[in-house]
Amino acid sequence: HGPFSEADFAALPETHWTLLVTDVEKYLPELRTLIEPFRFIPDWRIDDLMISYAADGGSVGPHTDEYDVFLLQLDGEREWRIGGLARDTEHLPDIDLKILKHFEPEQVWRVKPGDLLYLPPGVAHYGIGRGPCLTASVGFRSPSHREILQAWCERLILDIPEAARLEDPDLALQENPGEISAAASEQFQRIIQARLAQSPLAFKRWLGEFLTEPHPILDETEEPTLDEPAFHRALSAAGTRIERLPGSRIHWQRCGDEWILSVNGESWQIPEELGEAVKRLASQFSLRADALPTNPRAGGLLWRLYLARAITLVEV
């Protein structure tokens, strides 16, 4: 794991090593263009752009991933040995990647710049640099059922008053004090069912917050420096562009007549008149400010997005 110094690289051999750099598009936003062709898949499923460099013979070894991935060859050539589904295969212990103990390739591909390889989750693969090479990897989020339920239950717990406790004023006498009666079991079940029952609006708000949890890079972003009047002056200046900050997420949902905008772990209900503006803001990383409505409600929404460190203004 980095960071690495120039001395670290100078000490490496000429062959048989590789370097993986994750979240590249968050640090170099201009490389979002490599992700753009894959946005036929919803943004909430896209995780990051990884760039891997391999010297001749360089590889991380045969492994599997728990998510979909597109591998785009940028420079040089890489040999890909592809196996079958290997989710239940033994892995080497104490390594971040799921390196396989045993691997039998079923196909071999030698890819050149511009070639694209898609790998479903769990498919064993083994990439080897054939000369120095550079590969872009677009990875997709695939939260486990455990993660989803844990996040949902944690949210529910926060909404339960601390004073809410089990009450049993109708507790009946029972012959054996060691028995957990059917009535007691039903009471516990009613409590759980009542707490799990949420309105569609409440669930969608939570879902938006869960899927827009911001990347830690936002913690490195400067706090907003403009006050509200200065922000609106900059917004109305000729040529101003609205830029999505790296690491921020903006998604929207409909719930009946309601619009829900979710931004960096928060959800807001938005008036119908701002629906088209919300769609544009969620679908574009950069757009002209004058492409959006200029009414006070739209300006207020953009100010709120600025304070949430979702957008910034760039004078052109």
Identify the pLDDT of residue 251. Answer: 98
Please tell me the predicted confidence (pLDDT) of residue 184: 92
Strand partners, 71: 117, 137
Q: What is the pLDDT of residue 271?
A: 93
pLDDT in tens, the chain (316 residues): 888 999 999 999 999 999 999 999 999 999 999 999 999 999 999 999 999 999 999 999 999 998 999 999 999 999 999 999 887 668 888 888 889 989 999 999 999 999 999 999 999 999 999 999 999 999 998 899 999 999 999 999 998 999 999 888 888 888 899 999 999 999 999 999 999 888 999 999 999 999 999 888 877 777 899 999 999 999 999 999 999 999 999 999 999 888 999 999 999 999 999 999 999 999 999 999 999 998 999 999 999 999 999 999 998 8
* Domains of the chain, first to last: 6-140 (2.60.120.650), 216-314 (3.40.366.30)
Handedness of CA 301, 307, 311, 313 (dihedral sign): positive
Give the number of other Cβ atoms within 10 Å of residue 178's Cβ: 5
